[in-house]
């Protein structure tokens, strides 16, 4: 399978910093894959994204994008990749439609219809609104629409659900899936564990500049989490290990002596797995 990204021994240190922001990162992302990068603030996620998009130079090791070292691409790489950072960026006096139309003129190839993209991110009714009046969540969605404007092969999305309510966050997950369906590779940096588990083929945990774990979300939860059963009754609740449940005397005693309200299985979520693997909280 063709690789969209291949990093090996990747490191980067900001000038004057006592410690590297990235250290010995190995990462391979297949074409058409959706990968999530999870980590606390300052872990190195944004630095990794900036190196892979050519915004930071002077890195150590290798960082290949679409078959070529990023340092050898030049500005031509932006004809083939899209980038949406978390901080909204737009011309405030232009409407949303005008912002996308202006950006479209920066590309040498064909671009998508601005109105179609605004509809895809849930901003169709706001197409005539000046960007100066956008909320944080609307600005994030405009960033995503702009990143997809030229049908890139590889897209980097930084916190694409920041400032979004659950309904709009679900819509963003569907949009990411639609981009994968057309063959696009998507790299998502996020604190949104629901988005990471629902939308990503694999997730990687980044802590102190190192990629410490990577795998399919459900597989990581099974490997590092504990399977439990949660039982509730009138004035209390308890958790029991799912494995060996039939022989668990405490569970059986609870069923015999309590008026049970609910019994639910409970699997670890990604935030719990991240804490178990790294010893850090997201």
**pLDDT tens-digit series, residues 141-173:** 999 999 999 999 999 999 999 989 999 999 999
Q: Which residues are 36's β-sheet partners?
A: 188, 203
What is the distance between the alpha carbons of residues 170 and 195, in angstroms, rounded to a whole number?
A: 8
Q: Which residues contact 248 (CB under 8 A, 6 or more apart)?
A: 240, 241
**pLDDT tens-digit series, residues 199-255:** 999 999 999 999 999 999 988 888 877 788 899 998 899 989 888 888 999 999 999
**Structure-block tokens of residue 241:** 């290990």
- Residue pair 281/270 in contact (Cβ under 8 Å)? The answer is no
Fold (topology level) of 3-217: Rossmann fold (3.40.50)
Residue 223: predicted pLDDT: 81
Lowest mean pLDDT among 64-78, 161-175, 265-279: 265-279
Residue 271: predicted pLDDT: 83
Strands, E assignment, 56-180? 60-65, 68-69, 81-84, 154-158
Task: For residue 75, give the 3-state DSSP assignment.
Answer: helix
**Structure-block tokens of residue 181:** 């369906």
* Mean of pLDDT over the chain: 92
Residue 200: predicted pLDDT: 95
Task: For residue 258, give the 3-state DSSP assignment.
Answer: coil
Q: Which residues are 83's β-sheet partners?
A: 156
Residue 244: predicted pLDDT: 87
Q: For residue 5, name the pLDDT band (cuts at 50, 70, 90).
A: very high
pLDDT exceeds cutoff 70 at 44: yes
Specify the higher pLDDT residue, 219 or 94. Answer: 94
Q: For residue 123, name the pLDDT band (cuts at 50, 70, 90).
A: very high
Residue 122: predicted pLDDT: 94
**pLDDT tens-digit series, residues 261-273:** 999 887 778 888 8
- Residue pair 211/25 in contact (Cβ under 8 Å)? The answer is yes
- The per-type count for the chain, helices as H runs and strands as E runs, is 9, 13
Looking at residue 43, the DSSP 8-state letter turns out to be: S
- Residue pair 36/204 in contact (Cβ under 8 Å)? The answer is yes
Residue 243: predicted pLDDT: 85
């Amino acid at each position: 399978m063709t690789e969209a990204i291949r990093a090996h021994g990747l490191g980067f240190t900001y000038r004057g910093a006592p410690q590297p922001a990235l250290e010995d990162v190995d990462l391979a992302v297949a074409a058409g894959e959706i990968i999530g990068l999870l980590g606390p603030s300052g872990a190195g996620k944004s630095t990794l994204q900036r190196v892979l998009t050519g915004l930071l130079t002077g890195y150590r090791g290798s960082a290949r994008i679409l078959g070529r070292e990023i340092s050898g691409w030049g500005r031509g790489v932006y004809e083939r990749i899209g980038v949406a950072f978390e901080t909204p960026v737009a011309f405030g006096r232009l409407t949303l439609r005008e912002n996308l139309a202006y950006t479209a003129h920066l590309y040498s190839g064909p671009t998508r219809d601005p109105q179609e993209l605004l509809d895809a991110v849930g901003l169709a009714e706001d197409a005539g609104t000046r960007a100066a009046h956008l909320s944080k969540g609307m600005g994030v969605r405009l960033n995503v629409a702009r990143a997809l404007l030229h049908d890139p092969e590889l897209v980097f999305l930084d916190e694409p659900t920041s400032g979004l309510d659950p309904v709009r966050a679900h819509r963003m997950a569907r949009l990411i899936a639609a981009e994968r369906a057309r063959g696009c590779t998507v790299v998502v940096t996020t604190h949104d564990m629901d988005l990471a588990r629902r939308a990503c083929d694999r997730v990687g945990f980044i802590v102190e500049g190192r990629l410490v774990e990577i795998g399919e979300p459900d597989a990581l939860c099974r490997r590092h989490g504990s399977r439990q059963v949660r039982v509730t009754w009138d004035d209390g609740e308890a958790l029991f290990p799912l494995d060996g449940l039939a022989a668990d005397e405490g569970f059986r005693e609870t069923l015999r002596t309590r008026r049970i309200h609910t019994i639910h299985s409970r699997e670890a979520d990604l935030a719990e797995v991240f804490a178990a693997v790294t010893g850090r909280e997201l």
